[in-house]
Structure 1
Amino acid sequence: MKKTIIAQIQVKANDVEKFIELAKQMVKTSNNEKGCITYELFNHIDSKGRFLFFEEYTNQEAVNYHNTSDHFHQFLSDVGNMLSSEPIITNY
């Protein structure tokens, strides 16, 4: 069964450019994962530091693979201090 994840991220103003650089690589790598239908990043029109990841996977196994991948854990480590609040993550 298809799985969708929406992750809302708030980035500190001083870190936006670096976050975008890291997020672009994350999007590219994630889109190449087996079972990933789409992995996209959106920037809020009125807030430079507000982002939304939109992720679709073929099934829960693909989500599990993504969540345990080295590139995902490296991304979390790299951007952790850039966030101004806890991400809001919704699973469908």
Structure 2
Amino acid sequence: MTLIAVATIDAKADHIAAVRAALEAVVPPSRAESTCLRYELHLDNKIPTRFIMLEEWANEAALRAHETTPHFKALVAAVGDKVVNIDVAELSKLA
């Protein structure tokens, strides 16, 4: 069964551009991972500091492997002090 992850990233108001650039940079290498089924970056239309990453992975192990990649680690380092909050929901599809 695939695993859906929804990451909500709230940037500090004075770091929106830097957070966006870091998030955009991680999309292509993440999509290139063989176990990545979907990796989409979105901006919340009502909250300009909020980014949403919609992800689908082959399974939980695939997501955990993604978290060990150089591009993911670079993202974490790049946004570290530029965000207010990061929340990741891991979902199982019911219907």
Normalising to structure 1: TM-score of the pair? 0.92
SS in 2 for 1:27: helix
d(CA) in 1 for partners of 2:88 and 2:23?
A: 16
5+ long unaligned stretches in structure 1: none
SS in 2 for 1:65: helix
5+ long unaligned stretches in structure 2: none
**Percent identity (aligned):** 26
* 1:43 maps to amino acid: L
Q: Deviations over 1:26-63 (max 9, x none)?
A: 11110111100011111110211011111101112211
Give aligned pairs, total. 91
What is the deviation of 1:65? 1.3
Q: For residue 22 of structure 1, what is the aligned residue in structure 2?
A: 22
Structure 1 ranges of 4+ moved more than 2 A: none
Q: For residue 11 of structure 2, what is the aligned residue in structure 1?
A: 11
Q: For residue 44 of structure 1, what is the aligned residue in structure 2?
A: 44
